A and B are shown apart, each in its own frame.
Chain A
Amino acid sequence: MLTKRIIPCLDVKDGRVVKGVNFIDLKDAGDPVQIAAAYDKAGADELVFLDITASSDHRNTVVEMASRVADQVFIPFTVGGGIRTVEDFKALLRAGADKISINSAAIDNPSLISAAADKFGSQCVVVAIDAKRRDDGGFNIYKHGGRLDCGIDAVEWAMKAEKLGAGEILLTSMDCDGTKSGFDIELTRAISSVCSIPVIASGGAGSKEDFLDVLTDGGADAALAASLFHYKELEIMDLKEYLNNNSIPVRL
């Protein structure tokens, strides 16, 4: 049976993982390769690396990081952050990344979605959506790391992204992100019910129950979290045991 996926997300700057990861057996808590290998062992189904390097001449650092991770770690991983062209896709895929996530670049230039999907296949094109609740109860998408309201409805954008060839949606609730009070079930449901591509829910994970809720009521195919896993507030295998006991298929 196809399982629901549990995905740790790592923020990377200049090829180093920032917001340290609290694994006691790591020699270097900033090394993406060691952290990825530790998460593979810990039962993570996939990894997401989000590059937050500010400068624009950093592409080679990210490509080199992807290559070093792929040398040692044999589970799928996604790289996102600052990717703007089909050439960026090519370099990262050739380095060994399995999927590329795009956010602002897809909003500014939706044809990047179709160009990348045509060239490399939909399976590697992840459209990341940062969404925030409007006063009327709907959701708008934001770009530039959540700083700019695009005035575009999140559900409409997700449907358009799928139509253009996206293979997956990485959906972050800006309202819930960092609160540890649970995923935004309503937002996740709104997107997952209209998309026939997988949806990764992100933002707000604080407990095992939150994951159960978003994978059932939210209709998510996968759930992503960062600090919860990095600081060992929740062990991935404990979470998976819990989900399994609640009839959610997971890889154990």
Chain B
Amino acid sequence: MIAILDYDAGNINSVEKAFKILGEDTVLTRDFSVIERADRAVLPGVGSFSDAMSHIKKYELDKSINDFIASGKPFLGICLGLQVLFDYSDEGIGTEGLHVLPGQILRIPGEGGLKVPHMGWNSLEIKNNGRLFAGVKDQSFVYFVHSYYLKAEDPAIVKATCQYGVDIHASVEKDNVFACQFHPEKSSSVGLTILKNFANI
């Protein structure tokens, strides 16, 4: 059973639908005991950093997330669900993240005519043998929509990057914690492969 953590963020249903078509059992929940019993957990997200953090705290999901990760079971953050795992963000100054992983979320500079948000299909440079990317070819295209990007402190946890004026850390993996800045649930067959890999870890 995959618990999809519900904190009123958008696109939650798309993530659930993607796992369903892969034949996985899912439950959309914010209930501590349901999350605790799940085999895997996914933190999706679209919206703003401070809004997301305040909802996560309001529903006491921060404790559920920390406990789930401490249990060693696979955990996946998507988009904003990646960003809140880190220390803090340029978006929502003064709002702290969950400090699960060290790093910061910075505003995409958008210099040289690059538009912000970074929206559309961009190619991944796959590195460091990430388990999410088994069977995914280097330079595969995935779908991004975001205005802020991750700069992880530890380069060893970065499993995919993409270029958009800056080097965007597009996916990370540390022990049982996985996260993607892009939307695998909107990235056609490549994205479904990534979600399948997560379901099989």
CA distance A74 to B193 in the complex (A): 12
- Contacts A3-B120, A45-B120, A98-B11 given; indicate if A123 touches B46 (C-beta within 8 A): yes
| Residues on the A chain within 8 Å of B164, using CB | 2
Q: How far is the CB of A199 from chain B (nearest CB, A)?
A: 9
Residues of A within 8 A of B187 (CB): 74-75
Partner of B117, one of A72, A74, A123, A251: A123
Q: Contacts A72-B21, A96-B17, A121-B48 known; A2 to B121 CB distance under 8 Å?
A: yes
Pair A74/B46 contact, Cβ less than 8 Å:
no
Interface residues of A in 89-128 (CB under 8 A from B): 93-96, 98, 120-124
Number of interface residues of B (CB under 8 A): 35
Inter-subunit contact A196/B116 (CB<8 Å): yes
Contact (Cβ within 8 A) A3 B122: yes
For B18, list chain A residues within 8 Å (CB).
74
Take A94-B13, A98-B186 as given contacts and tell me if A167 and B123 are in contact as well, using a CB distance cutoff of 8 Å.
no
A76 touches B143 (CB 8 A): yes
Residues of B within 8 A of A96 (CB): 13-14, 17
**A94 to B46 Cα, complex, angstroms:** 12
A9-44 CB contacts (< 8 Å) to partner B: 40
User: Are A75 and B120 in contact (CB-based, < 8 A)?
Assistant: no
Whether A221 contacts B120 in the complex (CB less than 8 A), given A2-B164, A74-B186, comes out as yes
Q: Is B119 an interface residue (CB 8 A)?
A: yes
B10 shortest CB reach to chain A, Å: 6
How far does the Cβ of B196 sit from chain A's closest Cβ, in whole Å? 12
Taking the complex as formed, is A54 at the interface, i.e. its CB lies under 8 A from any CB of chain B? no
User: Closest residue of chain B to A219, judged by CB?
Assistant: B113
Report whether A45 and B117 are in contact in the complex, using a CB–CB cutoff of 8 Å: no
Q: Which residues of B contact A4 (CB under 8 A)?
A: 120
Query: Chain A: interface residue count, which band?
Result: 20 to 34
Nearest to B12 among chain A residues (CB) is A94
Complex contacts, A122 vs chain B, CB 8 Å: 117
Min CB distance B48 to A, Å, is: 7
Which residue of chain B has its CB nearest to the CB of A4? Answer: B120
Residue B57 lies at the interface, judged by CB distance under 8 Å to chain A:
no
- In the complex, whether A197 has a CB less than 8 A from a CB of chain B is yes
Would A124 and B10 be within 8 Å (CB), given that A74-B188, A75-B188, A197-B115 are in contact? yes
Residue B47 interfacial (CB < 8 Å): yes
Check A5 against B188 for contact (C-beta < 8 Å).
no
Give B108 Cβ to nearest chain A Cβ, in Å.
11
Contacts of A71 in B (CB 8 A): 17, 20-21
Known interface pairs A75-B188, A121-B10, A198-B115; A3-B141 also in contact (CB < 8 Å): yes
Q: Is the pair B13, A70 in contact by a Cβ cutoff of 8 Å?
A: yes
A93 adjacent to B10 (CB under 8 Å): yes
Report B113-146 residues with CB < 8 Å from chain A CB. Answer: 114-123, 141, 143-145
Distance of B88 from chain A, by nearest CB (Å): 20
Q: Is the CB of B121 within 8 A of A3?
A: yes
User: Is B66 part of the contact surface with A, judged by Cβ < 8 Å?
Assistant: no
CB closest chain-A residue, reference B122: A2
Contacts A95-B13, A123-B46, A221-B115: A74 and B122 contacting too (C-beta < 8 A)? Answer: no
In the complex, the chain A residue whose C-beta lies closest to that of B48 is A121
The residues of A that contact B110 with a CB separation of less than 8 Å are 196
Write out, one digit per residue, whether chain B residues 1-37 have a CB within 8 A of any chain A CB (1) or not (0). 0000000001101100110110000000000000000
Given A45-B121, A120-B10, A121-B47, are A76 and B186 also a contact pair (CB < 8 Å)? Answer: yes
